[in-house]
Amino acid sequence: MVDVTALGGEAPAEGEAPAEAVAPVAETKVATAEAVAAEKAAAEKAAGEKPTDKPKDGDADKGQKEGAPETYADFTVPEGMELDATKLGEFAPLAKELNLDQAGAQKFVNLFAKYQQEAVETQTSQWAKTTEEWRKSSADDKEFGGAKFEASVASSTKAIDTIMGKEAPAFKELLNSTQMGNHPEVIRFMHRVAVAIGDDKLHFGKGGEAPRDPARAMYPTMNK
């Protein structure tokens, strides 16, 4: 009888054929792992891969953000625009708190400048639209507009010259610069002043008569 216990098996019963020996697999697994490792090493060598070197002192800081300076240099803004000193004084400390470098802080300034320009353009557009509406309303006004508009404006202008005297140019400049000279209620007021005084009395006083008080001419019941 063949002794098979050395292979880890059991002896067959009498009259049975001996059990087939089972081949060990440990060596096969080890051999397979070594082959895989060898193939990987060969592939890495072929690709020119090298082990990652340990960074030298100072290399870790390379490429990192510079950070906020002690004091920011002057920021640039579009031509014709000026930065509000008060707002800039509020921004700089916040930028430092966020550790923004000069370039990073400039990006926020650029964004602010863009928004400010858009706001100015919007206000300008809205103001132009408003004054154009004033002009149209004045020209179409039933009291002094339509066919009477040019004559009404002329008499109103003459009334300003008469009442304001040497201050008339400054008053007209105020009306022009603010566009209030186009407002229908301003024109209405001056038109009624001209009508109340009358074209023949716009210079106040006749012959050797002393000049009348413009306020009394406009408001005859005043101080009675």
> Left, alpha or beta for 135 (phi > 0: left; psi -120 to 50: alpha)?
alpha
pLDDT over 90 at 43, yes or no: no
Which H/E stretch holds residue 93? helix 85-97
Residues 6+ away with beta carbon under 8 Å from 59 = none
Q: What is the pLDDT of residues 156-210, one digit of tens each?
A: 999 999 889 999 999 999 999 999 999 999 999 999 999 988 866 655 444 334 3
Contact assessment for residue 131 and residue 124, using Cβ atoms and an 8 Å cutoff: no
211 band by pLDDT with thresholds 50, 70 and 90: very low
Tell me the pLDDT tens digit for each residue of 72-95.
Answer: 999 999 888 888 888 888 999 999
175 residue type, one letter: L
Q: Residue 113: CB partners within 8 Å, gap ≥ 6?
A: 77, 78, 81
User: pLDDT band at residue 223, thresholds of 50, 70 and 90?
Assistant: very low
pLDDT-wise least confident of 63-67, 73-77, 130-134: 63-67
For residues 109 and 75, is the Cβ–Cβ distance under 8 A? yes
Cα gap 52→83, rounded to integer Å: 50
For 33, 37, 43, 148, the CA distances from 46, given in Å and listed in that order, are 20, 14, 5, 97
